[in-house]
Structure 1
Amino acid sequence: MRKTTKITTAALAVGALTFGLTACGSDKDSAKADPDSPLVVAASSVPHAQILGFVKDKLAAKEDLKLEVKEFTDYVTPNTATQSGEVGANYFQHKPYLDDFNKKNKTTIVPVATVHLEPLGLYSKKIEKLADLKNGATVALPNDTTNEARALKLLAENGLITLKPDAGADATPKDIAENPKKLTFKELEAAQLPRSLGDVDAAVINGNYAVEAKLSPAKDSLALEAAANNPYGNFLAVKEGNEKDPRVAKLAKLLTSPEVKKFIEDEYDGSVIPAF
């Protein structure tokens, strides 16, 4: 992995909250879990599955935790699998995305412990600096509700567009008030964005997919999301009612341990930031 400029973790005080492990559902749901069976966790490949792999290989034994990691390439199946009980937990998302997902799908997934932040960035294979983005350029955006709004906010913060005053966490290109460069927007599934770079002038890419595509958010991005007061920390999540599962409690403890913090800092060097 290429070395990149470190982003300080001090700015993540707001995002560093570890959610309490009090039950939001019935004890009956929690009692169904066999504490001696492996906890199956759905995760995005990078960095989530890698971080879980570190926990499984280096830390889980000391907590007598059997851990099984199941990798997914999309942002939908991990939640539906958690809701159905196919997996016991997931680790891939942030709170605005989960809130929107629960509302639209009538699911009852809840956060347990916040682990890290992946700064979202604007990337290009055709230009080397933001000022070179031409009039009429095509910019690809993630097409899920919260990340599209997050991407538009990044463009607005860097002077490429102006959003309407009432544009919120569900903003779309329709909420653009001013578009001085007359940019055209192409909405794609988040996982497809790195592969779109050859077909568009620039793309706003989620941090995990950028790292997976060998892009360094800290080094390769034309514009990068600020870490300060960022609400997009990624967390361990479970179906409501399973917060008391002792395996979940053990994993939450390990994911927010000093060992994991050091692993994230050493392995990703600013492209992924501990949020605890």
Structure 2
Amino acid sequence: MRKTVIPAAAAALALSLTACGSGSGDGAGDGEGTLVVGATAVPAGEVLSYIEDNLAEDAGLDLEIKEFTDYVLPNTALQEGSLDANLYQNEPYLDDFNASQGTDLVPVVDVYLPPMGVYSQQAADVTKLPDGATVAVPNDTTNEGRALQLLAAEGVITLKDGAGTDASPADITANPGNLKFKELEPAQLPRSLDDVAAAVINNNYAQDAGLSPTEDAILLESAEDNPYANLLAVKKGNEDDPRVEKLVDLLTSPEVKKFIEDEYRGSVIPTF
């Protein structure tokens, strides 16, 4: 297995080289060679590593995994051609990214739901946070809206009618606990727990920080009617790449479903 971990600064340099014509995808989009897939470490990187170690060879798929530590660069790399696919995001985030960045990335298949959770070192119940407490939330449009919707579903705040996946603190119409909201990069949220009363943290960053969504979250997103399943994405026009089709078959196989259920025990939920 070839796996590369790309922190934000290093990835930025790599992407600048890609723009000059040195993309790393072997035969990107032509159906031949290595399929280069970008992912965050947990759970996407672990799911792909399971496939590489156990299923890819028999399926005739040569897979290379590149791990990223943020949510922007995997899409930028996919658009510019140094990745052939990525696995880490949900469709509302992808739609917002395309609209704001002018990219043409498309979903191929939903794979799993990583429930977002609220974590706190000061309270065991999200409805009993101290009056005037500060709650950290993701600073990108889609994940902030998702975080606020999670709090609203529990009655912690009320959002105006029609506030959707792009809800912001400006859409809050009732805030009984006088909560203050601190917007942070999603990767910084686990480290903020010493400084805030609670933080709404994406699943992958929570697990990276050693937090268990099922055991440590004081509020966890429900899987029912949830639009935030993580998906495999490609650049438009590459949906029918034979290598991508092989990966889709493996990602939605009984073996991968069992791996997700056994490995994450409800912290990540298969959606196929």
CA distance, structure 2, for counterparts of residue 228 and residue 180 of structure 1: 27
Note if contact 1:46-1:208 (Cα within 8 Å) is conserved in structure 2: yes
Note if contact 2:28-2:83 (Cα within 8 Å) is conserved in structure 1: no
| 2:170 aligned partner | 174
CA distance, structure 2, for counterparts of residue 36 and residue 145 of structure 1: 36
| 2:138 aligned partner | 142
Does residue 248 of structure 2 align to residue 252 of structure 1?
yes
CA distance, structure 2, for counterparts of residue 131 and residue 78 of structure 1: 36
1:60 to 30, 34, 56: 56
| 1:27 aligned partner | none
2:115 to 116, 119, 132: 119
Q: For each residue in 1:32-81, what CA deviation from the matched residue of structure 2 results, as whole angstroms up to 9, or x when unmatched?
A: 64544110000001000000000001000111100000000111000010
Taking structure 2 as the reference length, the TM-score comes to 0.88
| 1:157 aligned partner | 153
| 2:232 aligned partner | 236
| 2:215 aligned partner | 219
Code of the residue aligned with 2:235 in structure 1: it is K
CA-CA distance at 1:131 after TM superposition: 3.9
Code of the residue aligned with 1:143 in structure 2: it is N
Q: For each residue in 1:10-31, what CA deviation from the matched residue of structure 2 results, as whole angstroms up to 9, or x when unmatched?
A: xxxxxxxxxxxxxxxxxxxxx8
Does residue 110 of structure 2 align to residue 83 of structure 1?
no
1:193 to 183, 189, 192: 189
CA-CA distance at 1:195 after TM superposition: 0.9
Task: Provide the aligned length of Structure 1 versus Structure 2.
Answer: 246
CA distance, structure 2, for counterparts of residue 272 and residue 204 of structure 1: 16
Gap regions ≥5 residues in structure 1? 1-30
User: Which stretch has the larger CA shift, 34-43 or 69-78?
Assistant: 34-43
| 1:105 aligned partner | 101
Does residue 203 of structure 2 align to residue 207 of structure 1?
yes
Note if contact 2:113-2:269 (Cα within 8 Å) is conserved in structure 1: yes
CA-CA distance at 1:129 after TM superposition: 2.3
CA distance, structure 2, for counterparts of residue 130 and residue 141 of structure 1: 14
What is the root-mean-square deviation in Å for CA atoms of aligned residues?
A: 1.2
Note if contact 2:28-2:81 (Cα within 8 Å) is conserved in structure 1: no
CA distance, structure 2, for counterparts of residue 240 and residue 134 of structure 1: 48
CA distance, structure 1, for counterparts of residue 116 and residue 28 of structure 2: 38
Note if contact 1:122-1:205 (Cα within 8 Å) is conserved in structure 2: yes
Q: Larger relative contact order (C-alpha < 8 A, sep ≥ 6)?
A: 1
Q: For each residue in 1:65-102, what CA deviation from the matched residue of structure 2 results, as whole angstroms up to 9, or x when unmatched?
A: 00000000111000010000011000000000000000
Gap regions ≥5 residues in structure 2? 1-26
2:88 to 87, 92, 102: 92
Note if contact 1:90-1:238 (Cα within 8 Å) is conserved in structure 2: yes
Note if contact 2:38-2:67 (Cα within 8 Å) is conserved in structure 1: yes
Secondary structure of 2:55's match? helix
Note if contact 1:36-1:66 (Cα within 8 Å) is conserved in structure 2: no
Change in Cα spacing, 1:32 to 1:140, as seen in structure 2 (3 Å) is closer
